[in-house]
Structure 1
């Protein structure tokens, strides 16, 4: 485990070293964080709403990069802008180091709390997703840590769980499954706390940036839907069924309905895990894993959340699944975590841009593989439910085991 952690620290240090060689945009190595840094600077310039206009933001990125063609549209809620604001006072390399090191540390601490003795096992499977998140400077560690905090505290500290859930307003589409879990389990304190966080942070953003920021954000969301429909995002790195279907040649409408069906299936898995699952911990593991399957817009750097889910599942998996089934499940998750990293390595080896690689025959298979993971989880849940029903018919009601706590 120490070797893996040391390797991750070396990766962060290497990225920072490269910034000194050629700047934040050198080799287009951290286009995502570079966009974060530009937004942070415009917070203090008082024209944050301009970053939500794709044409203007593309010009900002081109000017900052010295003419690089890579473009990352800005569609994050204003709360994330507020979070990034302090980075505007730092040079790019320092901002990257502070943001990545802090969020990586938060994620690893959270993952260690959840995984306990299984940490090394989870880290090996999750390592490629962690590596790609470091490479692009994205916020997957932050969202993974927040979802982990929700799961850790859902049972015993509902207010803290609500604070973490409310903070997921920075990426609300990744919190849908968790929200459904809270509703199904009637955790009203957590839900109320999260609602207060969202409302209060929205008020702060309105005061800080003006009411026009919400109009700008909604306009960017509408424009991004057009980008997604036209396939202008790098679909090969997306992990949604929508991307898999769209990339395979299906029309956007059919791809969207396919994504809708998978989202419904994922939420059905959450409901089944809550109502008939082996433990609350296992249910939360299902919640974390399917969090990345709801929205058509999800990337490989969002996969650290799946690491949290796997850590939650492991104690029950040894009983629910055979050795072969566990191996298949681990292999599927490892493949999903690795695919984006392998394609990025291919991009670097061929000295191609993301746009050029997109035009090659590069299938977006991660969404289909995640669907296979979902199918396996549903199979385990249904089989365990049948076993539990058989046991209930054989045992007196007062001898049934009590539900397990989330985390002991």
Structure 2
């Protein structure tokens, strides 16, 4: 039986006004920080009037190459950098385009405006989508304010990354599994633009018998790939797969982009100089444990909000390739858990997770990973408590 949906903070009623003020203050602080860094010439546009390079360069330059009729060149790091440089963006090193050709379908729209304008519009569109997903998960303006104040929102906005889009697709997809299974499947299909976040979604859907969602996800994925092939041709896929080896080497093997930036168990272990083989084994063990837990929970009669939270947090922890901006997604499991409110002890864990995400990548600790593990602990505690309650209320059939 599903638990009744309530406003988050049901166990913190006397502190509600204070919580609102803190959350609102954080949102204002984020806006003030962005405005200040813009005025100082360190974000969006520099003091010399030229655009300031950020991760969004990868999308904008890829879109320029698509508009020029050279989509495969988006995976050529040198060509990619030349386009950005020609646009007045000073780049040290490379901002590689690491997404499958399906995402290239979106990039031309981003390249129609100047780089700074396009980057602002990218966040201006993505942020409401993310907030809508949170509303679908939990409802209520309290949750919307909390989602807006989640620290990863600032990280994602600063670099112009895909955190809002990922959280929107995952959150809305999970929320609509039972209400609108076809639409949920389509959203999961669109999420394949980041395939590393799709490891455990099929596990949950199949374990829970949501075969209609599985079918629509498969169909939408195939349709998206076919559209990209028709639009750009088969060579673009060859260019993409050729680039994967270089990207994996730079990020997951040699660590040229700094293992400390990876917010995954694998990245944390590699940052501590653990050999790659041992790090992969440890991360693989974590993925197997998460898969077993998700499958067991989705096969049970546990409340949907608990199943949803488990799938959302397991999705981010299972990926070896996750950065601080991806952790906008951590707001999704918290939203589902918030449907029945947080106890003071749980609220303290949420605050600790938020502080870790807000701190950002550190040399000796993957703060985002630590935050994710704290949220996983909340899910496990809820699941254990739910199992205990079900066992206490179960009564054997009377003897005849």
TM range (shorter): 0.7 to 0.9
TM value normalised by structure 1: 0.81
Equivalent position SS for 1:32: coil
Residue number among 362, 365, 368 corresponding to 1:366 in the alignment: 368
Change (3 A) 1:51 1:12: same
2:75 and 2:171 mapped to 1: Cα distance?
30
What does the per-residue CA deviation read over 1:107-127, in whole Å, with 9 as the maximum and x for residues that have no partner? 122223323244167337x52
Provide the aligned C-alpha RMSD in A: 2.7
How many Å apart are 1:142 and its aligned residue? Answer: 0.8
- 1:287 is aligned to 311
Give the alignment of 1:160-309 within 5 angstroms.
Answer: 160-227=183-250, 228-276=252-300, 278-309=302-333
1:336 and 1:272 mapped to 2: Cα distance?
29
What does the per-residue CA deviation read over 1:229-256, in whole Å, with 9 as the maximum and x for residues that have no partner? 1112233332100111000110112111
The yes-or-no answer on 1:391 pairing with 2:390 is no
How many Å apart are 1:130 and its aligned residue? Answer: 0.3
What does the per-residue CA deviation read over 1:81-109, in whole Å, with 9 as the maximum and x for residues that have no partner? 11121122211122112211011111122
1:313 and 1:376 mapped to 2: Cα distance?
9
1:337 and 1:35 mapped to 2: Cα distance?
24
TM value normalised by structure 2: 0.83
Mean Cα displacement is larger for which, 138-147 or 307-316?
307-316
Aligned length: 370
Contact 2:153 2:325 (8 Å CA) reproduced:
yes
2:285 and 2:202 mapped to 1: Cα distance?
19
What does the per-residue CA deviation read over 1:174-196, in whole Å, with 9 as the maximum and x for residues that have no partner? 13333322111222222211212
- 2:64 is aligned to 41
Contact 1:282 1:316 (8 Å CA) reproduced:
no
What does the per-residue CA deviation read over 1:190-218, in whole Å, with 9 as the maximum and x for residues that have no partner? 22112121111111111111101111111
Q: Which has the higher helix share?
A: 1
2:282 and 2:80 mapped to 1: Cα distance?
32
Contact 1:15 1:135 (8 Å CA) reproduced:
no
Can you give the 5+ residue segments of structure 2 that lack an aligned partner in the other structure? 1-19
Contact 2:56 2:119 (8 Å CA) reproduced:
yes
Change (3 A) 1:366 1:88: closer
1:382 and 1:266 mapped to 2: Cα distance?
15
What does the per-residue CA deviation read over 1:113-166, in whole Å, with 9 as the maximum and x for residues that have no partner? 323244167337x52100000000011111111112112211111111111111
The yes-or-no answer on 1:334 pairing with 2:359 is no
Change (3 A) 1:381 1:272: farther
